[in-house]
Amino acid sequence: VKERSPRRSIIHLDADAFFVGCEIAAEPSLRGKAVAVGGLQRGIIASASYEARKMGVYTPMPTSSALRICPTLLVLPGDYEKYEEFSRRMFSVLQEYTPEVEVGSIDEGYADFSNLRGKSPEDAARELGKNIWERLNLSVSIGLGSNKLVASVASKLHKPAGFTCVPAGNESSFLAPLGVRWLPGVGPKTEELLSAAGFRFISDVASSELSALIKVVGSSATQLRAFANGFDDRPVVTEAPAVQSYSRQETFEENTNAEWLVQRIMRALSDELMARVRSDRKMIRCVEVKIRHGNMEQYRRSESLEEPTDLETDTYEVLDRLLKKLWISRLPVRLVGVKFSQVYESSSARQSTLDLAGYNRPRRRVLASVMDKVKARYGPAALARPHRL
């Protein structure tokens, strides 16, 4: 006998233009203006106010193009600590309703509102939005539905400051008229492939032959068609997922042919990452270097170590070998990146003594000081300014 799963009430909480929203909350005189957060030199727009969007500014548009389109645009450099603080406060308001909260990213998450005391899920969801607005001056949109997929689509449908409820039983009719791009996992490439095969609306996917869909999206066909029909039994997961990788990359202010410079930055990035690895009590085994050339083509080379490590010095030889492999083309380099993966738990005896001595400083300070050392030694002009978005 198959048990019928109980009807759930899932909400998706999604902040509106989050980075810009935080800046406006912190500086109310910005409200109503064309504001964006983005990289200043060779950067892109990471978040744009709705006034800026009316002028044609979208993410991830190059900041230079945005300023051309909208010369009055105020571009702010981005302040992650501020955004993390707002994020923490936003989720703590949500936690007042239920502990069944899944933090999806800095600006959005899910919660299971099925079992609230005394309130209907709908009343609670409306009240949540109002609460966040009144207490944080932050505008959010909320979707309510019987599963995560429907809630998430609903939250994005009537931004900003939207509340969208999909009544039980209406899932597939709600999704049917929307474009396939609304489905999770369908990005620009897959949208193009689907469209070429005649699947343009979610209803097209919902009623498709599985064999035809497999030809387009391969093994994700079953999942995609289930989503298109409004089926989604993914649970709301409370625990933070295990970290799979650590990565840092940096775009140079100007493309460079200087291998020594790329090497220096590569090592500095590696040092920063390794400090994080240690402060998380982890070890890593796979090291990867990425190069992006001036023409935006990028290449990666990776190597697994014999044993996991948490020491910077264990990476240098490998990094140099990988960079050497990538250096053959001699094309000017736009970006260098370092990534550590195959993350293991560390036996933390050594770190705990350092902890007591106060060696594990907060992450941001560690990052800043390493970069500053490189800058001090090789000159500020030689280094791309870090874009902290």
Partner DNA sequence: TCTGGGGTCCTAGGACCC
Distance CA 14, CA 143 (A): 8
Residue of the chain from 17, 22, 25, 106 that contacts DNA (CB under 7 A): 106
In the range 232-261, which residues lie near DNA by CB under 7 A? 241, 243-251
Partners of 343 in beta bridges: 284
Rank residues 60 and 235 by Cβ distance to DNA and give the closer one: 60
What is the nearest approach in angstroms of DNA to the Cβ of residue 5?
22
Burial category of 22 from C-beta neighbours within 10 Å (exposed 0-12, middle 13-18, buried 19 and up): buried
Distance CA 278, CA 288 (A): 18
Please report, to the nearest 10 degrees, the dihedral formed by the alpha carbons of residues 38, 30, 152, 214 taken in order. -30
Rank residues 64 and 172 by Cβ distance to DNA and give the closer one: 64
# residues contacting DNA (CB under 7 A) = 59
**CB distance 56 to 71 below 8 Å:** no
Stretch that binds DNA, among 59-67, 207-215, 354-362, 369-377 (CB under 7 A): 59-67
Q: Assess whether 303 carries a catalytic annotation.
A: no
Partners of 163 in beta bridges: 142
Indicate whether 301 belongs to the interface with DNA (CB under 7 A).
yes
Stretch that binds DNA, among 103-111, 128-136, 168-176, 205-213 (CB under 7 A): 103-111
What is the nearest approach in angstroms of DNA to the Cβ of residue 373?
17
Distance CA 280, CA 283 (A): 9
What is the nearest approach in angstroms of DNA to the Cβ of residue 232?
14
**CB distance 327 to 257 below 8 Å:** no
**CB distance 43 to 388 below 8 Å:** no
What is the nearest approach in angstroms of DNA to the Cβ of residue 245?
4
Indicate whether 5 belongs to the interface with DNA (CB under 7 A).
no
**CB distance 338 to 326 below 8 Å:** no
What is the nearest approach in angstroms of DNA to the Cβ of residue 321?
10
Indicate whether 335 belongs to the interface with DNA (CB under 7 A).
yes
Indicate whether 308 belongs to the interface with DNA (CB under 7 A).
no
Rank residues 116 and 341 by Cβ distance to DNA and give the closer one: 341
Stretch that binds DNA, among 35-43, 114-122, 139-147, 200-208 (CB under 7 A): 35-43
Q: What is the CA radius of gyration of the chain?
A: 24
Single-letter amino acid, residue 365: R
Rank residues 134 and 233 by Cβ distance to DNA and give the closer one: 233
**CB distance 281 to 354 below 8 Å:** no
Rank residues 298 and 351 by Cβ distance to DNA and give the closer one: 298
Stretch that binds DNA, among 27-35, 202-210, 232-240, 381-389 (CB under 7 A): 381-389
In the range 339-378, which residues lie near DNA by CB under 7 A? 341-342
- What is the x/- site pattern for DNA, positions 60-79, by CB under 7 A? x-x-xx-x------------
The tokens describing 20, both together, are 């810009």
Rank residues 118 and 187 by Cβ distance to DNA and give the closer one: 187
Stretch that binds DNA, among 105-113, 162-170, 230-238, 351-359 (CB under 7 A): 105-113
DSSP string, 261-283: HHHHHHHHHHHHHHHHHHHTTEE
DSSP state of 201: B
Indicate whether 186 belongs to the interface with DNA (CB under 7 A).
yes
What is the nearest approach in angstroms of DNA to the Cβ of residue 115?
25
Give me the catalytic one of 23, 51, 100, 108: 108
Alpha helices in the chain (DSSP H): 18-26, 50-54, 63-69, 80-95, 121-136, 148-157, 171-175, 188-196, 202-206, 210-217, 221-228, 259-279, 313-326, 349-356, 363-378
**How would you label 24-38 residue by residue, b for 16+ Cβ within 10 Å and e otherwise?**
bbeeeebeeebbbbb
In the range 199-238, which residues lie near DNA by CB under 7 A? 218-220
Distance CA 338, CA 287 (A): 7
In the complex, the residues that contact DNA under the rule CB under 7 A are 39-44, 46, 59-60, 62, 64-65, 67, 104-108, 152, 184-191, 218-220, 241, 243-251, 286, 295-296, 298-304, 325, 334-335, 337, 341-342, 384, 387, 389
Catalytic residues: 108
